[in-house]
Structure 1
Amino acid sequence: MVKMGTFFGMSLGAFVFWQSMDKVHVWIALHQDEKKEREEREMEVRRVREELMQQAQQRDSVA
Structure 2
Amino acid sequence: MVKVATYFGMSLAAFVFWQSMDKVHVWIALRQDEKQERLEKEAEIRRVREELLRQQANQNDSY
TM-score norm. by structure 2 comes to: 0.99
CA apart distance, 1:58: 0.2
CA apart distance, 1:21: 0.3
CA apart distance, 1:48: 0.2
Q: Identity, % of aligned pairs?
A: 68
Q: Deviation string for 1:28-55 (max 9, x for gaps)? A: 0000000000000000000000000000
Q: What is the aligned partner in structure 1 of residue 32 from structure 2?
A: 32
**Structure 1 stretches of at least 4 aligned residues deviating more than 6 Å after TM superposition:** none
TM-score norm. by structure 1 comes to: 0.99
Using the alignment, how far apart are the partners of 1:39 and 1:60 within structure 2?
31
Structure 1: gaps (5+ residues): none
The secondary structure found in structure 1 opposite 2:47 is: helix
Amino acid at match of 1:31: R
Q: What is the aligned partner in structure 1 of residue 44 from structure 2?
A: 44
